[in-house]
Amino acid sequence: MKILILVNSLSYFVSHRMPIAQISISKGYEVVIGYGELGDIDPGFVEKKGFKIFFVPMNRGGTNLFEEIKTIYSIWHLFREIRPNIVHLVTIKPYLYGGIIARLTNVPAVVSAIAGLGSLFIQQDLNTRFLRALLYPVYRLAFAHPNQRVIVQNKSDIETLISWGVIESKKFCLINGSGVNLDKFTQLNEPVSIPTISFVGRLIKEKGVNEFIAAAHYLLKKGIKARFWLVGDIDLKNPSGLKKNEIKKIDDGNIKLLGYHKDIANLYAKSHIVCLPSYREGLPKALAEAAAASRAIVTSDVPGCRDSIIPNISGLLTPVKNVKKLADNLQWLIENPSKRIAMGKAGRKLAEKKFDINIIIHDHLKIYQELINNTL
């Protein structure tokens, strides 16, 4: 049996889907990867893990009609060449284009993975609302395969898509994120140091990076003793990404820009609190990893983020874009270390119950087998 995983970035595959794919190989599947961008990954690294990989020209933020037609043709050609038993479509262009092309090329089974509904569902400006209206029929076609499962990471996204009328409810599968290897998070005790609050994520406005910076400045001006770390890539292809000149103004000693960080377990071992004030998420891996690291969390009361914690037990929720409340929650955790540590311990138990990579892999393999059984 052959599985083709189509994803917009090879680095995203490595960070969010490779453990699932590796276990699939051990279960006898042949796994092929189609990708649009490399990110920071050497293709040879992925090939050495036992995967065949194919480049598909795909600009995740692009809207040029000629380039999109080229992407669609390339996906069609890849499906015809590989002839997979299952296509696993991850991120928006793969699951929209790939979902439609899978029907046209008679792929027997489709898994569409929605890792959050993103800015298209957040922004309410006229252009975005017009684009949403145009995409309604595209979504209907992308999720119309008769042997398909649609993986979502929180219940709010299911409710939104059902309200759109684009997916049959029986096709949904709720899986809690992309999973965390709990064995990597062994340093669970807090460090003996000045309280450190870490923001981990792409440096784009929808992640709440501006609110995090504003809350940090507010607390520092109040005389709160703490340091703030921004950990993540600059995303120049995203229209809401922070620009280089904006980034340069941030790092002032107390607010430190650390850039992309591979060893998140080590980073969290040096942190006391993890903060992600996003506007909307699927189920952010940064928060699942924070829970695994036994760190208290401050995040937004929005889909995906609220699903990453037990409110007031493993973390605190903040109204979205509310800098004052965000700062108040951070200050409360800074000044109440015993409560903070208790929240971290509760988060670890939550991670063991919901976010363990072994649970996530089991759920994916179950979906694959169910879809294959439907074709027999």
What is the distance between the alpha carbons of residues 133 and 60, in angstroms, rounded to a whole number?
Answer: 20
Mean pLDDT of 220-245: 81
Select from 296, 289, 249 the least CA-distant residue to 265.
289
Partners of residue 256 on adjacent β-strands? 229
Q: Which two tokens stand for residue 238?
A: 């995203």
pLDDT at 24: 96
- Residue listed under structure tokens 């993540």: 232
Residue recorded with tokens 């991850």 = 90
What single-letter amino acid sits at 295?
A: R
Evaluate if residue 243 carries a pLDDT over 80.
Answer: no
Per-position b or e across 13-25, b if 16+ CB within 10 A of its CB: bbbbbbbbbebbe
Quickly state the pLDDT bin for 60 (edges 50, 70, 90).
Answer: confident
* For residues 357-372, average pLDDT: 97
Instruction: Pinpoint the residues of the chain covered by CATH 3.40.50.2000.
Output: 2-179+356-375, 182-355
Q: What is the mean pLDDT of residues 235-251?
A: 66
With 0-12 CB in 10 A as exposed, 13-18 as middle and 19+ as buried, what is 238? middle
For 34, the token pair is 């189609």
pLDDT reading at 237 higher than 70? no
- From residue 167, how far is each of 110, 137, 185 by CA, in Å? 13, 11, 37
Q: Would you state the structure tokens that stand for residue 161, as one six-digit string?
A: 């898509």
Q: For residues 185 and 270, is the Cβ–Cβ distance under 8 A?
A: no
pLDDT the model gives residue 150: 97
- Percent of the chain residues topping a pLDDT of 70: 93
From 221, 147, 170, 185, select the one nearest 371 (Cα to Cα).
147
Q: In this model, does residue 146 exceed pLDDT 70? A: yes
Nearby residues of 312 by Cβ (< 8 Å), 6 or more positions away: none
pLDDT tens digits, one per residue of 24-55 = 999 999 999 999 988 888 999 999 999 999 99
Q: Please give the mean pLDDT across all residues of the chain.
A: 91
Q: What end-to-end distance do the CA atoms of the chain give, in Å?
A: 12
Q: What is the DSSP letter of 283?
A: S
In terms of pLDDT, which residue wins out, 243 or 104?
A: 104
For domain 2-179+356-375, give the fold: Rossmann fold (3.40.50)
CA-CA distance, 254 to 4, in Å (whole number)?
46
- Say if residue 323's pLDDT is above 80: yes
CA distance 209 to 187: 27
pLDDT band, very low/low/confident/very high, at 14 (cuts 50, 70, 90): very high
Can you give the pLDDT at residue 63? 72
DSSP 105-171: TT-SEEEEEE----GGGT--SHHHHHHHHHHHHHHHHHT--SSEEEEESSHHHHHHHHHHT-S-GGG
**Alpha helices, DSSP H only, in 300-356?**
323-335, 337-350
Tokens 């893990």 -> residue? 49
E-strand spans in the chain?
2-9, 30-37, 52-55, 86-90, 109-114, 148-152, 172-174, 196-200, 227-231, 255-259, 273-276, 296-300, 315-318
| Phi, psi for 6 (deg, rounded to 5) | -110, 125
Indicate whether 123 pLDDT > 80: no
Between these two residues, 89 and 244, which has the higher pLDDT value? 89
Assigned CATH topology for domain 182-355: Rossmann fold (3.40.50)
Which residue from 261, 123, 142 is spatially nearest to 203, judged by alpha carbons?
261
Q: What is the mean pLDDT of residues 252-281?
A: 90
For residues 335 and 184, give the distance between their C-alpha atoms in angstroms, rounded to a whole number: 29
Is the pLDDT at 246 greater than 70, yes or no? Answer: no
The whole-number average pLDDT for the span 125-150 is 86
Q: Which residue has the higher pLDDT, 132 or 68?
A: 68
Residue 86 buriedness (CB in 10 A; 0-12 / 13-18 / 19+): buried
The share of the chain scoring above pLDDT 90, in percent, equals 75
DSSP 8-state class, residue 85: S
Cβ neighbours of residue 195 closer than 8 Å, sequence gap 6 or more? 225, 226, 227, 272, 273, 334
Report the chain's C-alpha Rg in angstroms: 21
Average pLDDT over residues 75-98: 96
